[in-house]
Structure 1
Amino acid sequence: MNVRNLTVVVDDDREIVSGASFALAAGEVTALVGESGSGKTTTALALLGERPATARVTGRVEVAGFDVDADHPPEPGLVGYIPQQPSAALNPVRRIGPVLHEIARLHVHADTRADRKRLARARLLEALRQAQLPDGEKLLRRYPHQLSGGQQQRVVLAHELIGRPRVLVADEPTTGQDAVTRGRLVDELRAVAAQGIAVLLLTHDLDLVRTLAHQVLVMSSGNIVESGPRQEVLGSPQHPYTKRLIAAQPDLAAAGSPAETGRPLVAVREVTAGHGRVDTLHEVTLDIYAGDKLAVVGRSGSGKTTLARCIAGLHPYRAGEIRLGGETLSPRLRRRTRNQLARIQYVFQDARASFNEFVPVLDQIARTAERLCGATSPAARTRAIEGLARFGVPESSAARLPRSLSGGELQRAALVRALLSEPDLLICDEITSGLDAVTQAELLEALNQLHRDAGSALVMITHDLAVATSLANRLVIVYGGRIAEHGGTAEVLANPKHQATVELVEAATKTQEVASQRSAP
């Protein structure tokens, strides 16, 4: 694959990609790194003949000898694409299995219907295995909303692997993945490349780049500012922006001391919850204190997000009790008071899906202050603008529809929306997973500053132990719907007792060690 002088210009004559040129070699992984809004996704979509609405595209994109543009997209199956937000690629009203079967049938040929069905199923199962879904048979009967973010990501990967593409574009494929699953997915992507497939990896995860990539392209403001072999770009960076990316990467450093205890702000007592007839949480008991900075860590599907959503009232639990101060909270969001809603706020993993696509982002953020705080419309809008500015999102961007903002901008906007009600407890569900190292570091520092200024309790749902140690004083490990281990972050990481904790720590440590070795000159 060859890209030559690719330029994408939008209506206001602003270049979001400026003269990008690079080549993807068969059997190699090329990483395209850069901050949110730098032009990575726009560049990747050009490989499929896609472009933003009303944009003007110049330059040449050649895939397997064919010129690709909006009028001449690549042949089906030639280029596979895994989007950053997996929920956008899944049909919410259809089970996983029938959709995968339909895709598989498009790519197999046989003389009889029975043979075609057999071959389609064999290809489907092969794709599930390659996508690290060993329990795929169970997942085939579920709907997308019954899967964790990591499981959704792997199902979308299976969608594309069914077609056996010549080029695979992976947009943040490890977003929302725990360290163990990420390590396995790295092995599978490496195996995909070993089959002669060119892989373009769009990512913010520099450890992943060090572990997997052969070539690195660094993009900033639509320009490729540095490129070359992985060892050269990451081992001896030349451009100031590349140096900033590397310096901002979090590390598995020891966290601070646990917060003062006393009477819990939120008390979770023997809560059981699930999907349908299947329980995913089993009699969970947990205390969250005022001033807490708590990280809830575990593998995909372990029940972390279900626990957080039960606390916020977004997922009704079957048994147990959750109290806020001295008040018992209803399991259902609609039965909670306005004050209770304001005191517990939730920031979703998929920021784009949490916004109404037809309403400007600024209006949606201001609505929080109106509904939960009783602010007038002008006052709410002023507070929203001030909050957005604090997180680096200008009013001109926020006044647009959600589709016009980058993933990082939407994530910060979602955080501002939650903070306008001045909550006692802020729950953040994987909000750093789709951010570049610089933006992630800035967001973590902003959360720490908010904690110091307002004293709100923070609960971070995350797979990333480095992020957990950067933010949290207390760590909770969830495994199989139960709390496997909890305590001070430094203590748990230094002396893990449960096997689930040992596996997570070993996988995270191994990733950083391998990345360090591979980046050495």
Structure 2
Amino acid sequence: MTPVVRVENLGATVDGHVLLDGVGFTVDAGRVVALVGASGSGKTTTGLALLGEGPATGSVTVRGRVGFVPQQPSAALNPVRRVGAVFREIADRHPGDPRDLIATALRRARVPADLLHRYPHQLSGGQQQRVVLAQALIGDPAVLVADEPTTGQDPLTRTEVVDELSAVVAQGTAVVLLTHDLDVVRALADHIVVLRAGRVVEQGPADALFTHPEHPYTAALLAATPPHPTPPTTDAPRLRVRGLTAHHRSTTVLRDITLDVTERLAVIGRSGSGKTTLGRCLAGLHEPSAGEVLLHGTPLPRSLRRRTPAQLAAVQYVFQDARASFDTRRPVLDQVARTAVRLRGLAESDARAEALAELAAVGVTGETAARRPHALSGGELQRAALVRALLARPEVLICDEVTSGLDTVTRADLLAVLATVPCALVLISHDPQVVARFADRVTVLHEGRVVSHGPASTAIEGAKEKMT
């Protein structure tokens, strides 16, 4: 059988920095090859080479068209156009009746036709991911490149995405899966290619690599687990939420939320349940229509713009998409240090010294931090974003899916930092392993309401029934 994809001696160098060196693999029709490795290992650069983009050298042979499912579906959807209009535009580029092409793609990706009438902001994260998959399937591609297709998805949606990709593979489409999610690799992959610093350190059948990895780096990826955090030191709530209600335009996304934040609170729920909106309301990034947030019993202004520097410093937010949270034109170090200057009044030289020391402690060197954001990996930017927030010396740190899209080793390193933070932590997460190890209390949201709140040991089990 002739492979659908053949990659030979793939290389890439940017500004003297080697991104890929001698990468090679093949993919047959109806098979899944997973590319795994730490942030910066070369997975995305390899995926771009399959799409005919990027600075790669070597040989890439593809028999047929390539479809692409990006890591951040929201960035691939036009916010001012209805979904159906974009589908029709894509279908017009391919031979055949556009209506038939769209109907076939929707059926293969299991997307209800009524979603075509909506705008992207009216879709949950899981719905956005399925819509982007359907767009990629228009025209029946021979191979699908899926870049972190389950990033930031709740367990049920993750299962649905795996089922959808499995159905596509069963119809003969080859899939190149770029992911850090080893559970998804176990569920889907036939063959695994392990990348480190742009080189293939090991590859082979998925079953063999999971049971008997030969390279120490592969074993480390499989063995990495989240650390156990420092136990909570107090039962007194630092943050109280009372009767919080919030809207996105005419849609109610939070309904009368009441909860307390003591030390380590995990907020879980399906995509679209209101988790991120709750976190943004706590930080003043989204103004609620009713209710209040109290810090040590004192109400905080609902809007970020009306909070004092001390109030801004007290509640800090680390975004899921770290790259989008940095100014592309300024060095990362300058942006991290700016927090201590603006919110704590430090001199610029002192702020830079603190920033350098704390970045080094999480594995981001001064040389790396001096670069602009595009030159850092996703894992490096996420650690820099965490340090930036911690330089404010917050009372409460809100982390929105900060481990999404990170490999197991980088995730463990980041969580090791979180395990020692001296402030209260609100962890918005879909990762049950992280929640189980990190949280002393769990809040479960469903359709904008709190449906379960209590100790992690009992709330997680209760959440399974509430989220189905």
Which TM-score applies when normalising by structure 1? 0.84
Q: 2:36 aligns with which of 24, 33, 36?
A: 33
Q: Helix, strand or coil: the match of 1:449?
A: coil
CA RMSD of aligned residues (A): 2.2
Percent identity over paired residues: 55
| 1:103 aligned partner | 90
Q: Point out where structure 1 has 5 or more consecutive residues left out of the alignment.
A: 66-77, 111-115, 504-521
**Equivalent position amino acid for 1:142 in 2:** Y
SS of residue in 2 equivalent to 1:15: strand
CA distance in 2, matches of 1:38, 1:86: 22
CA deviations on 1:320-379 (whole Å, 9 max, x unpaired) are 111112321222111111111110000111111111112221211111111111112222
Q: Which residue in 2 is equivalent to 1:499?
A: 465
Correspondence 1:172-211 to 2 at 5 A = 172-211=148-187
Give the letter for the 1:461 counterpart.
I
Paired with 2:336 and 2:116, the residues of 1 have a C-alpha distance of: 35
Equivalent residue number for residue 425 of structure 1: 396
- 1:469 pairs with 2:450: no
Question: Which residue, out of 238, 253, 267, partners 2:240?
Answer: 267
Looking at structure 2, the residues matched to 432 and 350 of structure 1 have their Cα atoms a distance apart, in angstroms, of 10
SS in 1 for 2:144: strand
Report the Cα offset of residue 422 of structure 1.
Answer: 0.5
Query: How far has the Cα of 1:108 moved from its partner?
Result: 5.1
Question: Any stretches of 5+ residues in structure 2 without a counterpart?
Answer: none
| Residues 497 and 178 of structure 1, relative CA distance in 2, 3 Å threshold | closer
Alpha-carbon spacing, 1:485–1:80, altered in 2? closer, same or farther (3 Å)? same
Structure 1 residues 311 and 278: CA distance shift in structure 2, 3 A: same
Deviation at 1:85, TM superposition (A): 2.7
- Report the CA distance between 1:150 and its aligned residue: 4.0
Give the counterpart of 1:416 among 387, 405, 417. 387
* Separation in structure 2 between the aligned mates of residue 175 and residue 196 of structure 1, nearest angstrom: 25
Aligned positions of 1:56-455 closer than 5 A: 57-64=56-63, 78-107=65-94, 109-110=96-97, 116=98, 118-119=99-100, 121-123=102-104, 126-127=105-106, 130-131=108-109, 133-134=111-112, 137-138=114-115, 140-144=117-121, 147-249=123-225, 260-262=234-236, 264-289=237-262, 292-450=263-421, 454=422
Mapped partners of 1:470, 1:440: distance in 2: 13
User: Could you list the per-position Cα deviations for residues 235-294 of structure 1 after superposition, in whole angstroms to 9, with x for gaps in the alignment?
Assistant: 10000001101110459xx999776323x21111111112111101111111112xx111
Which residue identity does 2:341 align to in structure 1? E
- TM-score normalised by structure 2 residue count: 0.94
Separation in 2, partners of 1:497, 1:158: 30
Q: Which amino acid aligns with 1:36?
A: S
Matched residue SS, 1:106: coil
Listed one character per residue, the Cα deviations across residues 92-140 of structure 1 (whole Å, up to 9, x for unaligned) are 4444342233223333534xxxxx4x436524xx43x544544x63574
Find the aligned partners of 1:460 and 1:139 in 2 and give their Cα distance.
Answer: 33
Preserved CA contact (<8 Å) 2:266 2:426: yes
Instruction: Report how far residue 310 of structure 1 moved.
Output: 0.8
- Check 1:331–1:186 CA distance in 2 against 1; reply closer, same or farther (3 A cut): same
Structure 2: distance between partners of 1:94 and 1:132: 21
Mark the CA change 1:301 to 1:171 in structure 2 (over 3 Å): closer, same or farther.
Answer: same
CA shift in 2, pair 1:280/1:139, >3 Å: farther
Q: Any idea what the Cα deviations from partners look like across 1:377-429, whole Å, max 9, x if unmatched?
A: 22222222112111111122222221111111111111111111010000000
Could you tell me how far apart the structure 2 residues matched to 1:348 and 1:131 are?
29
Answer whether contact 2:11 2:57 (CA < 8 A) is retained: yes
Secondary structure in structure 2 of the residue aligned to 1:190: helix
Aligned mates of 1:482, 1:217 — CA distance in 2? 42
Residue range with higher mean Cα deviation, 150-159 or 33-42:
150-159
SS at match of 2:52: coil
Contact residue 259 and residue 293 of structure 1 kept, 8 A:
no
Q: Is this contact kept in 2: 1:132–1:181, CA < 8 A?
A: no
Q: C-alpha separation between the residues in 2 aligned to 1:133 and 1:462? A: 25
After superposition, the C-alpha distances for 1:212-244 in whole angstroms (9 at most, x for unaligned) are 111111111111111111111111000000110
Q: Match for 2:11 among 2, 7, 15?
A: 7
Query: Which amino acid in structure 2 is aligned with residue 499 of structure 1?
Result: E
Secondary structure at the aligned position of 1:286 is classed as strand
Contact 2:87 2:102 in 1 (8 A): no
SS of the residue corresponding to residue 462 of structure 2 reads: coil
Instruction: Return the letter of the residue paired with 1:288.
Output: V
